[in-house]
Amino acid sequence: MPDSASRPHKGQSLWGGRFEQKPAELMQAINVSIGFDRRLAAQDLQGSRAHAAMLAKQGVIASEDAEAIHRGLDRIEAEIADGTFPYREEFEDIHMNVEARLAELIGEAAGRLHTARSRNDQVAVDFRLWVRQACDDTVRRLTALQRALLAKAEPHAATLMPGFTHLQPAQPVTFGHHLMAYVEMFGRDAGRFQDCRARLNESPLGAAALAGSPFPIDRDATAAALGFERPTANSLDSVSDRDFALEALAAASIAAVHLSRLAEEIVLWVTPQFGFVRLSDAFTTGSSIMPQKRNPDAAELVRAKIGRIFGALTSLTLVMKGLPLAYSKDMQEDKQPVFDAFDALWLALAAMAGMVADLEPVRERMAQAAGGGFSTATDLADWLVRRLNLPFRQAHHITGRAVKRAEDLGVDLGDLPLKELQAIEPQITSDVFEVLWPEASVTSRQSYGGTAPDQVRAQIARWKEKLK
């Protein structure tokens, strides 16, 4: 055990040799991060084990010291797991809390763990490990949501609903086709997190404070032990880079946009004015004063949580935008927004998967709305091109006049008498009515990726195979 002169006394920081007095209370308050960076405990232990093993193998520390360090880290891991680890603000962050506890458990050997390492590269590797795991976890959660969408889309591959542009009825589609649009979106989101993971998968451990280390360390060994593809190539960049966190937040923000769009549609769909879907009691709440209300609060809260994710990206971008190389204490503010953003994203993904599984379409209401707003007008124009060989612009003009006439008569396009259509274009025959109904419109959209039920089922099968 070290003598008392060489050990930090109670209230003295592990870095306190240069300082004669304790930090002011306000300095301690603004400096301490253990309240939030304790979430890096598992990663800190993982990095320390790899570092200690490498130091021993390279002959930098004795093997018996490395063994003692490993035993102490195992004890600390157990204490964290059972809730007895003594987190102390006087040691500022998770790294120094672990080191201080290690010194209490194994004595002098604990002081050898920090050889050839700085808190700068230590926190960089811990944070990369956390973000890497967060990317993997998010992909799994996105996949769960995609599976929920697939399960709901499959029985509704032919269920009619209106398709909208500008939130105005445009053309008939199917409910399954509409849900599959979100499967595509969330698939791209998963790809962004996978790309982010691939780019961040380099180990900064061994960059030390900013310039590297004079000890004969093996950075390839620690990178491999921690599951990284390679060590980072520049020690200055290693400790000052937070691109990986920014990229993860950017991917989270785009995923959040998609979640918010789907949440907004659910909010619209459950209104009496739309009446397209129903949500059960599981994902709705009531009113304290209006007993008839069923509010889509889960969807609204998903929509609202998105702001926290956008805010996290903005926050970290502003922290990083003016920092000279290499590390600055500003970067301590990197973790809270990332933790908060992923907590919000994961909750929103879970809630959305639950809502998708819970919601039930009101088929008759959606089918009725699918034919509204003269939604088969494009089908009439296409028929004029195919059957009468008219230029599309001429067909578009004729169709516009037909829509105006139907509107004047207060009927749907499919109910417009043949003589009225022939008054606009004499070549029109009764065959035209075969394409003026939503079912025919949907069935005709057989192009790859179209809304025809057979195409929808093909895309569902493709995604089910892809997500195996």
Question: Cα angle vertex 76, ends 75, 81, to 5°?
Answer: 100
Q: What tokens appear for 378 in the block? A: 């494009």
CA distance 406 to 403: 5
In the DSSP assignment, the letter for residue 98 is H
Q: Which one of 4, 9, 166, 288 is the catalytic residue? A: 166
Largest CA distance in the chain: 107
Q: Is 137 helix (H, G, I), strand (E, B) or coil?
A: helix
Residue 134, CB-side half-sphere exposure with 13 Å CA sphere: 28
Q: Are 17 and 23 in contact (CB under 8 A)?
A: no
Q: How many CB atoms lie within 10 A of CB 425?
A: 19
Q: Quick one: pLDDT at residue 4?
A: 38
Q: Quick one: pLDDT at residue 354?
A: 97
- Told to judge if 9 belongs to the known catalytic residues of this protein, a careful annotator would answer no
Q: Quick one: pLDDT at residue 116?
A: 97
> With b meaning 16 or more CB within 10 Å and e meaning fewer, what string describes 174-207?
bbbbbbbbbbebbeebbebbeebbeebbbbbbbb
Ramachandran angles phi, psi of 215, nearest 5°: -80, 155
Look up tokens 């009825």; give the residue: 169
Beta strand 277-278 with 230-231: parallel, antiparallel or unpaired? unpaired
Whole-number Cα distances in Å, 298 to 147, 284, 456: 19, 7, 28
Ramachandran angles phi, psi of 339, nearest 5°: -60, -45
Q: Which one of 6, 280, 287, 328 is the catalytic residue? A: 287
Beta strand 160-165 with 168-174: parallel, antiparallel or unpaired? antiparallel
Whole-number Cα distances in Å, 335 to 35, 116, 210, 246: 11, 24, 20, 11
Per-residue pLDDT of the chain (468 residues; tens, 9 = 90+): 333 334 444 444 555 566 666 767 776 677 788 888 999 999 999 999 999 999 999 999 999 999 999 999 999 999 999 999 999 998 999 999 999 999 999 999 999 999 999 999 999 999 999 999 999 999 999 999 999 999 999 999 999 999 999 999 999 999 999 999 999 999 999 999 999 999 999 999 999 999 999 999 999 999 999 999 999 999 999 999 999 999 999 999 999 999 999 999 999 999 999 999 999 999 888 878 887 888 999 999 999 999 999 999 999 999 999 999 999 999 999 999 999 999 999 999 999 999 999 999 999 999 999 988 889 999 999 999 999 999 999 999 999 999 999 999 999 898 999 999 999 999 999 999 999 999 999 999 999 999 999 999 999 999 999 999
- Told to judge if 287 belongs to the known catalytic residues of this protein, a careful annotator would answer yes
Look up tokens 């604990």; give the residue: 110
CA distance 121 to 143: 33
Q: Is 92 helix (H, G, I), strand (E, B) or coil?
A: coil
